[in-house]
Structure 1
């Protein structure tokens, strides 16, 4: 869902996008037709070769399927989140040895991973984009270990209609992960009380977007306290 919403926002902003998935380009025909002439589908390796920036919008559980060699030297945006479910957990995340983006970076050892676009939902992404200088422009957190890669991603976010707040290295990316005040809620407002995790997800998918300024995002990142890793479904 995040990948499709981002593709729509990118095309609307005048960018060209190349889409891929694990099932083959033909399965993306309907989405490509909807997006229009600025979009096309390709294999993951072809997408990596064609794109200046790559968004790895895959479940964290399958991040090791990302084509390491094809993505070598590329700036890779990591929008993944750690969601625990029966039969799946990642000990290196559970004991805080790594953040989820450090795990992705460990696999993509020759790429430049930047964590962003993970803390805002598809509907809110489409609703909250604004031109530069708009008084209600929304900001998104980003983190990474390569300054040049972070500058490239900041420029992309600007084109997409968002400010960026640099919250540090990938080791600090936990500040915007699930179970922190910076994850999802700044763009949603207050949820109804008493929601179970699955109910929260359903509510978040329907909720209208709420603008969140760079000052607010920066303050939430600075005040974050590290808790249990992962969103429990």
Structure 2
């Protein structure tokens, strides 16, 4: 799947999920110069005032409208609700999976705890005609909100990017950079295991060199166990 590179001033980012992560990402996108459409689980009119306060400049709308009108879409809703996303409106889109499995929120879901695939691969299988890229899930929303810095700024933190299409990983890496973080391409979606809750990079608020070192150690450990 090939996509045309874009610049913030000509790009719309859709965010499905108007909770803590979704509104933080909306603020980062607005600060980077993107147009932002955001949807929640309720009617847009019921979240509009909240969005005006938490992400002024973002437009509250339905998930289908946000997906259809956006150039790139971020999933920031509870993972257990991934099957509610508008599949047809997301066809041909790059979809950023920022979701995590939390049994406290999602319930005990064996289908989300597959020993043979990552949660992003489960989402990608559901969105078979979209290109799913994992990003923004491993850093806490407080750190996302507070750690954004200009390129080359001392102490700039890193966000890992995983996906099965190299060009789409690069596309999302450009978004990560524009949001104020150093993107680190860790390869295919399967590599995203290390980003999930219970694994070494989950919760990481570290720089690019340290993140790459953690990924390298994890790969050596996996290779040694085979």
Q: Match of 1:231?
A: none
TM-fit CA distance, 1:87:
8.6
Alignment of 1:119-198 (within 5 A): 119-184=138-203, 186-187=204-205
Greater RCO, CA 8 A, separation 6+: 1
Is residue 222 of structure 1 aligned with residue 216 of structure 2?
yes
Structure 1 residue 9 corresponds to structure 2 residue 34: no
TM-score, length-normalised on structure 2?
0.83
Contact 2:95 2:131 in 1 (8 A): yes
- State the TM-score, normalizing by the size of structure 1: 0.80
Q: Does 1:51 align with 2:45?
A: no
Aligned with 1:78 (options 97, 101, 111): 97
The separation in 1 between residues aligned to 2:50 and 2:106, in whole angstroms, is 32
Map residues 40-119 of structure 1 onto 2, 5 A cutoff.
40-85=59-104, 88-119=107-138
Q: Over the residues paired in the alignment, what is the CA RMSD in angstroms?
A: 1.8
Name 1:27's counterpart in structure 2. Answer: 46
* Map of 1:205 onto structure 2: none
Shift of 1:92: 4.7
Q: How many residues align?
A: 200
Question: For each residue in 1:188-211, what CA deviation from the matched residue of structure 2 results, as whole angstroms up to 9, or x when unmatched?
Answer: xxxxxxxxxxxxxxxxxxxxxxxx
How big is the shift at 1:136? 1.0
